[in-house]
Amino acid sequence: MAMKEKNVQIGGPGNRRMPAKPKDAKKTLGRILRYLKDYKVALIMVVVCLIFSAGVSIAGTYFVKPLIDNFIEGLKGQVDPDFTPFFKTLALMVFIYLLGVACAYIQTRLMIYVMSNSLQKMRNELFAKMQALPIRYFDQHVHGELMSRFTNDVDAIRQMISQGIPSAISSVVTIIAVFTVMLTLSWQLTLVAAVIIVLMVFTAKVVGGKSGRYFVANQKQLGKVNGYIEELIDGQKVVKVFNREQKSIESFQSINADLCVAGTKAHTYANILMPMMGNLSYLMYATIAVVGALLSVKNVGAIEVGTLVSILLFTRSISMPINNLSQQITGILTALAGGERIFSVLDEPAETDDGNVTLVNAKICDNKLCECEERTGTWAWKIPNGKGFDLVQLRGDVRFKDVSFGYEPDQTVLDNISLYAKPGQKIAFVGSTGAGKTTITNLINRFYDIDKGEITYDGIPIKQMRKYHLRRSLAMVLQDTHLFTGTVRENIRYGKLDATDEEVEEAAKIANAHFFISHLPNGYDTVLTADGANLSQGQRQLISIARATVNNPPVLILDEATSSVDTRTESLIEQGMNKLMANKTVFVIAHRLSTVRNADAIMVLEHGKIIERGDHEELIKQQGKYYSLYTGLFELS
């Protein structure tokens, strides 16, 4: 397989990658906020509601002063006091508070709408980008870490958009407004409060900064834990067959311990911040109460009772947004760390596709090839010529000319390979693991681009072909099958989305899958889950073959297509495959040499070079590497 040939280091029990560290929080915040630009009207309404809600809270506190000074103190000693103004003031307060509740509801609903749609767009972009990334990217990154972009990182951004940013705006507005009102009431007491507020802000900056750094580390470790768990779940059979349960537990405990350390440090600073801020707010409250009392006693009338009570309430109301703002710092930093991890994927260069040759349906018109809309079974390459287009019939002529390639710069997998497959020929590749067999088929698909040489398809360099159209002309059956959640019919139709039910069933019959599918609980409508876990490995392979069959392409690549089926089933498949392979160019990779005996040409690879070529009879006569492999297999059987 390609992975073995590349010798690429991937994630797993023995090799865990570290995610990249966040580098530019300001830039990341700007990019996140750009997802909100389509909701300017809603955001303006949110800001207005936040400001009004903050104003309501301040107004409610401010009303305490006239209630005490004008009514409670003012009505003392009156024989028949008039409470009408008092009740009117209370009614006004109730009305204002109800408006505040309405604004809070509107603001919450709008932010949910903005957040949901923005994150939907972000997830769509992230998923679309992953589809556009080259295969090499997935070879080099742990799948669990990539999954954490969609879960942990997006969720952190969700919390920031829906809670962090609105709460921060509300807190800032409240702090500024409260401080302004306090100045109008008593500049002396406001000055005392300002000194302690500066101390609170400094504390929040120091403790919050440390907490933020540890939350970044916590996010990284969480991604590693997710990646390890996903790989171990996928590889449970391997773990059990080699009795590595205890080793897996020990490895997980090691990773989980790192997460525990990072999480403990992060939450330690985050959790001590609120008590520290709370105690400082109590200190501010007590200090202002003492100073206000002293000013009132020494200078009677300098500070009225209502004024002092209002300022004391304002000190409580200003400490809450400061506490809240300090709490949001850690959440925002966590979201920025997750955002940068997401943008690191979005900024990855997409799979290059600069070809201009496309594949079109064709038919014969007046003794020449012409393009048509309907599917005729005949295809043509549409080649721009400066004035228009030339049509070259798709025949399946594939040629390698002095091709060299390596997955890593210092590791050559194929060394000056030259070969050809004429239309309708069956070409087989044999050789030991890592010889480069699967690499050749990967290059035909342009999963990777070659380092040197040229690959042509019907005389056209494949670099000139659009990858989508190149891959439309091919069908591939891999050794490692993958089935999607859905019905059997949908999985077969994956090879041709517009295939009719009759075409689906005909493809299954050719692959000899129709019999067992018919005996499933719901036949072709049986739902497959967990990569077809409710089927045997051989049955999954048969469906994979049927999926390639339904497209009926001119070029077919079979990478150990019958490796997971028994000898009898293999014989049945070969009978159907002979129909499928008729008049097609076929590339076959097989370890069972009995399956390649009827190939038109057999290429024997060793260390990235073709050391022997010819048909079965010719290679047996040469008594070389192929002869040794074949006779050794025959003796074993």
On whether both 168 and 88 belong to a single domain, the answer is yes
Q: Are residues 109 and 136 in the same domain?
A: yes
Tell me, yes or no, whether 314 and 461 share the same domain: no
Claim: this prediction has a pTM higher than 0.85: no
Tell whether 270 and 163 lie within a shared domain. yes
Tell me the C-alpha distance between 578 and 589, whole Å. Answer: 16
The count of structural domains within the chain is: 3
Same structural domain, 425 and 452: yes
On whether the CB atoms of residues 608 and 615 are closer than 8 A, the answer is no
Look up residue 41 and give its two tokens: 């009207």
Same domain, yes or no, for 256 and 388? no
- Using the structure block, give the residue that is written with the tokens 């409060």: 193
- Confirm whether 7 is domain-assigned: no
- The verdict on residue 241 lying in a domain is yes
pLDDT reported for residue 569: 66
Query: Is residue 16 a part of any domain in this protein?
Result: no
Residues 112 and 153 in one domain: yes
- The distance from CA 296 to its chain's CA centroid, rounded to whole angstroms, is 63
8 A C-beta contact, residue 274 and residue 327: yes
What pLDDT is attached to residue 488? 92
Statement to judge: residues 588 and 606 lie in one domain: yes
586: domain CATH number is 3.40.50.300
Same domain (yes/no): 135, 224: yes
Q: Are 223 and 19 in contact (CB under 8 A)?
A: yes
Residues of the chain with pLDDT under 50: 1-22, 633-637
Residue 338 and residue 292 in one domain: yes
Does 10 fall in a domain?
no
- Those residues whose C-beta lies under 8 Å from the C-beta of residue 3, and which sit 6 or more positions away, are 10, 139
* Pairs from 90-98 (Cβ < 8 Å, separation ≥ 24): 92/63, 93/59, 93/60, 93/63, 96/56, 96/59, 96/60, 97/56, 97/60
Q: Is residue 5 part of a domain?
A: no
- Of the candidates 370, 393, 416, which is a domain's last residue? 393
* Domain range enclosing 378: 358-393
The reply to whether 14 falls in a domain is no
pLDDT tens digits for 571-624? 766 666 676 677 788 898 877 676 788 888 999 988 889 999 998 888 888 888
Q: What is the pLDDT of residue 634?
A: 40
Confirm whether 314 is domain-assigned. Answer: yes
pLDDT at residue 462, rounded to an integer? 93
CATH of the domain at 208: 1.20.1560.10
Residue 543's pLDDT is 87
| 167 shares a domain with 83 | yes
Residues 373 and 438 reside in one and the same domain: no
Judge contact between 581 and 555, C-beta under 8 A.
Answer: no
Residue 8 is assigned to a structural domain of this protein:
no
